[in-house]
């Protein structure tokens, strides 16, 4: 995939990085990324993915911009209150980088339609705020063997992980959260959340999408980053693969 003169200039600070280069930038241009949720995580992530020159972005969100979103969802402005989030996000993407093809899916993703939505994408970024959607996305991404970048924030805590659970030594999302949804807990739909922290985790999610497409440095799949904004502490854990995992364990037909 060739880069135009305009793109060579736009992405010069990527291309000059030895670990990215013109080849890495071309991989970003060739990539199709599915972003589920244009909220606290999705809003900053979409901006960085657009700026980074991801060739095609699909944005899934059925919500409308609410005044109470503006404290953290910096993709949206006061004038956008009441407008559809996915359409508004797509307009911002076009303004940031006209080289990005944006597709809007103005709906809430369900377990039934997740596989069809994920098909054809190279990476899925899940920034949704409800657990049933997260599981549906994780299961469909695992079945399709599409890397999943998952990020969540609540109050002063954030978490980030990349999952390729079909690989023999890598955990899937269900290895991480287990069978009990109560263990997940993290959701910003009703809890308080420090707005700037969603920016941190959303930006890191974009970074992980870029790493998944044009690998640089260490492979982060199977690691879990935990951010504690109260203590200003970042910790990285190695997540084990659960041999009894209902999604990717030895008992499943994969």
Considering the candidates 172, 175, 188, 248, report the single residue annotated as catalytic.
Answer: 188
Assess contact for 214 and 15: CB atoms under 8 A: no
Q: Residue from 14, 27, 170, 174 that binds Zn ion (CB under 5 A)?
A: 174
Return the SS3 of 118.
Answer: helix
How many other C-beta atoms are found inside a 10 Å radius of the C-beta of residue 53?
20
Site track for Zn ion across 175-204, x = CB under 5 A: x-----------------------------
Please say which residue, 156 or 166, places its beta carbon nearer to Zn ion. Answer: 166
Of 133, 140, 144, 148, which is closest to residue 33 (Cα–Cα)? 148
Site track for Zn ion across 150-169, x = CB under 5 A: ---------------x----
Please say which residue, 152 or 175, places its beta carbon nearer to Zn ion. Answer: 175
Q: How far apart are CA 7 and CA 127, in angstroms?
A: 28
Q: How far apart are CA 211 and CA 205, in angstroms?
A: 10
Is residue 224 a contact point for Zn ion (CB under 5 A)? no
Task: For residue 129, give Cα distances in angstroms to 39, 60, 88.
Answer: 8, 13, 19
Say whether 245 is catalytic. no
Q: Residue from 90, 172, 205, 209 that binds Zn ion (CB under 5 A)?
A: 172
Is residue 247 a contact point for Zn ion (CB under 5 A)? yes
Assess contact for 213 and 27: CB atoms under 8 A: yes
Is residue 245 a contact point for Zn ion (CB under 5 A)? yes
Contacts to Zn ion by CB under 5 A: 165, 172, 174-175, 245, 247-248
List active site positions: 188
């Amino acid at each position: 995939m060739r880069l135009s003169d305009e793109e060579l200039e736009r992405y010069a600070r990527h291309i000059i990085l030895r670990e990215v280069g013109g080849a890495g930038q071309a991989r970003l241009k060739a990539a199709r990324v599915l972003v589920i949720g244009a909220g606290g995580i999705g809003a900053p992530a979409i901006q960085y993915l657009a700026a980074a020159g991801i060739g095609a972005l699909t944005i899934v969100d059925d919500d409308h911009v609410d005044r109470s979103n503006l404290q953290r969802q910096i993709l949206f402005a006061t004038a956008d209150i009441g407008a559809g989030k996915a359409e508004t996000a797509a307009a911002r993407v076009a303004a940031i980088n006209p080289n990005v093809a944006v597709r809007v899916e103005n709906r809430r993703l369900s377990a039934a339609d997740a596989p069809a939505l994920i098909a054809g994408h190279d990476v899925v970024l899940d920034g949704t705020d409800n657990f049933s959607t997260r599981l549906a996305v994780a299961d469909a991404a695992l079945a399709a063997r599409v890397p999943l970048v998952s990020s969540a924030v609540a109050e002063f805590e954030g978490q980030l992980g990349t999952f390729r659970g079909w690989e023999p030594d890598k955990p899937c999302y269900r290895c991480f959260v287990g069978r009990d949804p109560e263990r997940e807990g993290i959701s910003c739909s009703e809890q308080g959340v420090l707005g700037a922290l969603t920016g941190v985790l959303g930006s890191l999610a974009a970074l992980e999408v870029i790493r998944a497409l044009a690998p640089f440095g260490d492979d982060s799949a199977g690691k879990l980053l935990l951010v504690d904004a109260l203590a200003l502490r970042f910790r990285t854990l190695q997540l084990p693969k659960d041999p009894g995992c209902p999604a990717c364990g030895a008992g499943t037909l994969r």
